[in-house]
Amino acid sequence: MRIMTANLNGIRSAQRKGFFDWLEDQRPDVLCIQETKAQRAQLEDGPYFPEGYHAEFVDAERKGYSGVAVYSRRQPDDFIRGLGMAEIDREGRWLEARFGALSVVSFYMPSGSSGEHRQGVKNAFMEPLMERLTAMAADGREYIICGDWNIAHTWRDLKNWRSNQKNSGFLPHEREWMDRLFGEAGFVDVFRRLNDASDQYTWWSFRGQARANNTGWRIDYQVATPGVAGTAVAEQIHREPRFSDHAPLCIDYDWSLDLSADPPAASGNR
């Protein structure tokens, strides 16, 4: 089972850069997209709905902002849209697809980098989210929560960690929150289970030569319950080709979604 997560910083922009053509070669079983920056009604069926995939979207109320999607080769049994938290759900940040006992989630954590107000929104969301995640980890299902978590967990997860300790995404309370996520809450950082290197990043600023110099941050994760996390066998960060300021993260699991089910008949079948 191949799971891919990608913050596209605009699905229409990524499509023009060839993302869906590239996707044909990668063939993930499930693709989680963040920052679609589009309403579903704005997307043409052909370019954005490749043959063989079902697609589901949760849009932000504000056009051109946020939004998440899940593409899958098997039709999910059910979807959970949103977290029941009004301010967060209005921004289109959570979509859970259920496949039997496994849930795959596309998640986009708010960023606080634009100023104190947005950091306040992020801070206010983190504790209710931790409560929800802790309950999920104990409910008997397996979860893979894919997305842009907008937090680099440890010094290994960003190049210039010393100079970023007072910046959103690497604040002490944010890193402590991640400690709890991978500690008492019971989730696993699947990439780190497979790769312990300190130069593995998924986001680079557009400024200067950040990407060329690999001056990046690892803020895109696949966060999973221990059962399915223990089946992970391979990981890859696709730095090239470039579709956005993030790189897609792909992880292979020794797990089946029962892909014997019939695929969509045509690209417009969703």
Catalytic residue numbers? 148
Characterize the bridge pairing of strands 142-148 and 102-108. Answer: parallel
H or E element that contains 131 = helix 116-137
DSSP 8-state secondary structure symbol assigned to residue 84: S
* Cα(147)–Cα(88) distance, integer angstroms: 15
- How many angstroms separate the CA atoms of 182 and 270, rounded? 35
Question: Is there a contact between 268 and 49 (Cβ–Cβ < 8 Å)?
Answer: yes
3-class DSSP state of 33? strand
3-state secondary structure of 217: strand
> Do 145 and 224 form a contact (C-beta atoms < 8 A)?
yes
Q: Six-digit token pair at 24?
A: 């044909």
Of the chain, the end-to-end C-alpha distance in Å amounts to 21
CA distances (Å), origin 44, targets 47, 48, 68, 155: 6, 6, 17, 42
In whole angstroms, give the CA distance from residue 83 to residue 93. 9
